[in-house]
């Protein structure tokens, strides 16, 4: 690889990837590119901007001489999330079988989780409000009160609880993987 260049959508600003990263790229026999040796790259590109990636090849690949500009691809750097939620939000679970009907003690391993938000939440098309009982498996919620946008819930029996005493977590995530974690109260369960 002779050069990897990111050019902004209007042809202006550009960023050329340094030799260290170019040398850390492996191209397999199917043409897939990967970073080798656990290499990583932190972009110096502006966020929330569209770029065209241009790769100039030189040398030999699979016994064939490679010279010139390869195909271009478009990429958008997105590291912001639109949804923000101030305040502390409360949690309830269905099938609460404890002494109190709101103590989040249950003998049911799959529940519906309901959130009452301290402020209204309006999501953009690429965002989702999710909950998790284990921090790994995330379940989408839907807005259950479109007048206030403060009540959100999963489907019935959508969240699988972990045995023992644990906590529920909630986040807003977009398709680029940007995350905002919600501050929750009353989110423990047994």
Nearest to 179 by CA among 124, 125, 127, 120: 127
The pLDDT score that the predictor gives to residue 82 is 72
CATH topology classification for 89-189: Immunoglobulin-like (2.60.40)
Read off the pLDDT of residues 121-136 as tens digits, 9 standing for 90 and up.
Answer: 989 888 999 999 999 9
Judge whether 141 and 115 are in contact, CB under 8 Å: yes
For residue 100, the model assigns a pLDDT of 83
43-68: pLDDT as tens digits? 666 666 666 666 666 666 677 776 66
pLDDT at 163 exceeding the cut of 80: yes
User: What's the average model confidence in pLDDT over 156-160?
Assistant: 95
Separation of alpha carbons 148 and 121, rounded Å? 9
Q: What is the mean pLDDT of residues 103-132?
A: 91
How would you class 156 by CB atoms within 10 Å of its CB: exposed for 0-12, middle for 13-18, buried for 19 or more? Answer: exposed
Q: Is the pLDDT of residue 174 over 80?
A: yes
Domain coordinates of the chain in residue numbers?
3-77, 89-189
59: left (phi over 0), alpha (psi -120 to 50) or beta: left
Residue 165 CB neighbour total at 10 angstroms: 10
């Amino acid at each position: 690889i002779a050069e990897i260049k990111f050019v902004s959508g209007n042809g202006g600003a550009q960023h050329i990837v340094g030799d260290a990263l170019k040398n850390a790229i492996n191209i397999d026999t199917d043409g897939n590119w990967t970073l080798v040796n656990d290499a990583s790259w932190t972009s110096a590109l502006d966020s929330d901007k569209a770029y065209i990636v241009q790769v100039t090849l030189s040398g030999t690949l699979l016994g064939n001489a490679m010279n010139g500009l390869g195909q271009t691809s478009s990429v958008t750097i997105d590291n912001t999330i639109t949804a923000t939620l101030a305040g502390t939000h409360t949690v309830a679970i269905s099938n609460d079988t404890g002494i109190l009907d709101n103590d989040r003690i249950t003998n049911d391993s799959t529940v519906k989780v309901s959130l009452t938000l301290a402020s209204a939440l309006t999501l953009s098309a690429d965002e989702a409000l999710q909950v998790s009982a284990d921090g790994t498996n995330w379940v989408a919620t839907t807005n259950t009160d479109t007048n206030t946008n403060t009540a959100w819930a999963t489907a019935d029996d959508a969240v699988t609880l972990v045995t023992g005493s644990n906590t529920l977590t909630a986040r807003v995530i977009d398709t680029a993987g940007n995350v905002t974690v919600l501050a929750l109260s009353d989110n423990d369960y047994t």
